Structure 1
Amino acid sequence: MPSTNSSLFLCLFLAATSLNLIIAADPDMLQDLCVADLNSAVRVNGFPCKPATNVTASDFFFAGLAHPGATNTTMGSVVTAANVERIPGLNTLGVSLSRVDYAPGGLNPPHVHPRATEIVFVLTGEIEVGFVTTANRVVGRRIGQGEVFVFPRGLVHWQRNVGSTPAAAIAAFNSQLPGTLGVAAALFASEPPVADEVLERAFQIGAGEVRRIRRRLAPH
């Protein structure tokens, strides 16, 4: 017979494991498929299903990652998402992809995915990757073609092309819609804006510097 303490430990372990599985990714699906009705005004934790009789193969297909995106942006990078908004058949499946293209020196700036862990696979070139833990420790390295790196869910992370030629990577997520919160834009280009006093004190800068950063990050 197991001891009371052993039984209690087992119960607590199973409960913690189950909770971890619940919060680790999107909720499990309850049917074969639930193709998102992107035109519906109804919003739940995901998208409502369109009638099964209206489902076609195109609901599960997307060709947008086949070719490089234009990297003539401010940061010299572009992200092409293959999430539920592009592939309605991903609804309730808990996975998605993105393609990231980088010009030489291009940066995918510090950002957070609040709903997903990310694993990135380098298609071409060499990129520098890194994330910051809650202990303010930077974990990063350079990775090249065919290599992968993982960014834990909810941590600030980035990628930068350190080569002299264009680079590209595929990122996979354990969410149909991982969400992206750019750190700089969230703080300096939000609407309504974060109070100047908050930014001045947090970053130990003056009001003029706050205004200059806001102008640079303002949507064009």
Structure 2
Amino acid sequence: MMIPIFIFSLLITLSSASVSDFCVADTNQADTPSGYPCKPASKVTVNDFVYSGLGKAGNTSNIINAAVTPAFDAQFPGLNGLGISMARLDIATGGVVPMHTHPGGSEVLIVIQGTICAGFISSANGVYFKTLNKGDIMVFPQGLLHFQINSGKSTALAFVGFSSQSPGLQILDFALFANSLPSELVEKTTFLDDATVKKLKGVLGGTN
């Protein structure tokens, strides 16, 4: 008598487990630190688990001559709660992705086309950089400052993966000079002179 009861309990457990297989993002609701609320299972379709946005090159006609096209939970609802995401990186000739961090996740990059000089700085100020060619892969640990530069003579293309569905992004140059923090405070904390700080604020859109 105990065996049938055990089997029945096991079946109930297995059947109820399926409801937590995924949590497709309901992007009509606000994002939270733990991700988006789940879309009702009855409204989930296969299209929630497929994303075609990385098939087209990003627009590199900007100040850094580079474009990052994300496939995070906001763009790709099926990633919500899975702790993974991707992005496409297009860097025109002479382009650069300036020093930046992803506070929410580590990054792995694979070069598909062109040549990219990439590197990061550890919390002990150790420097790790290398020129990457087609097929090369490099990893950037979570939260560390890192960069990518097109060091070749043609457009470079890479795809990157993250250990978070929403890794976040803070670009150092913009954090310092594209804000309203008074110039004298920026000068004090960066040891730069007034003319340099105001020039960079002017270029990047900062004020004060």
The TM-score with structure 2 as length reference comes to: 0.86
- Residue 120 of structure 2 corresponds to residue 143 of structure 1: no
Amino acid corresponding to residue 178 of structure 1 in structure 2: P
Amino acid corresponding to residue 198 of structure 2 in structure 1: R
User: In 2, Cα distance between the equivalents of 1:43 and 1:117?
Assistant: 20
What pairs with 1:157-168 in structure 2 (closer than 5 Å)?
157-168=146-157
| Equivalent position of 1:177 in the other structure | 166
| Equivalent position of 2:34 in the other structure | 45
| Equivalent position of 1:204 in the other structure | 191
| Equivalent position of 2:53 in the other structure | 64
Shift of the alpha carbon at 1:199? Answer: 1.2
Closer, same or farther: CA 45–145 of 1 in aligned 2, 3 Å: same
Runs of 5+ in structure 2 lacking a partner?
Answer: 1-18
Show CA shifts across 1:62-104 (max 9, x none).
1111122221111110000001011111110000001000111
| Equivalent position of 1:24 in the other structure | none
Provide the aligned length of Structure 1 versus Structure 2. 188
Amino acid corresponding to residue 86 of structure 2 in structure 1: L
Shift of the alpha carbon at 1:195? Answer: 3.1
What pairs with 1:36-115 in structure 2 (closer than 5 Å)?
36-41=25-30, 43=32, 45-115=34-104
Shift of the alpha carbon at 1:196? Answer: 2.2
Show CA shifts across 1:98-117 (max 9, x none).
10001111101110000111
For 2:93, what is the secondary structure of its paired residue?
Answer: coil
| Equivalent position of 1:188 in the other structure | 177
Show CA shifts across 1:126-160 (max 9, x none).
10001011122211000100110010110000000
User: In 2, Cα distance between the equivalents of 1:67 and 1:162?
Assistant: 22
For 1:185, what is the secondary structure of its paired residue?
Answer: helix
Closer, same or farther: CA 199–89 of 1 in aligned 2, 3 Å: same
Show CA shifts across 1:167-189 (max 9, x none).
10000000000001000101111
Query: Which has the higher mean CA deviation after the structures are superposed, 32-41 or 173-182?
Result: 32-41
| Equivalent position of 2:105 in the other structure | 116
8 Å CA contact 2:30–2:36 kept in 1: the answer is no
Runs of 5+ in structure 1 lacking a partner?
Answer: 1-29
Shift of the alpha carbon at 1:42? Answer: 6.8
Amino acid corresponding to residue 210 of structure 1 in structure 2: V
| Equivalent position of 2:145 in the other structure | 156
For 2:53, what is the secondary structure of its paired residue?
Answer: coil
User: In 1, Cα distance between the equivalents of 2:192 and 2:105?
Assistant: 33
Closer, same or farther: CA 113–137 of 1 in aligned 2, 3 Å: same
Amino acid corresponding to residue 185 of structure 1 in structure 2: F
Shift of the alpha carbon at 1:205? Answer: 2.0
Shift of the alpha carbon at 1:44? Answer: 5.2
What pairs with 1:4-19 in structure 2 (closer than 5 Å)?
none
**Which aligned runs of 4 or more in structure 1 are off by greater than 4 angstroms?**
none
- Structure index of larger Rg: 2
Closer, same or farther: CA 204–181 of 1 in aligned 2, 3 Å: same
What is the root-mean-square deviation in Å for CA atoms of aligned residues?
A: 1.5
Residue of 201, 204, 207 corresponding to 1:214: 201
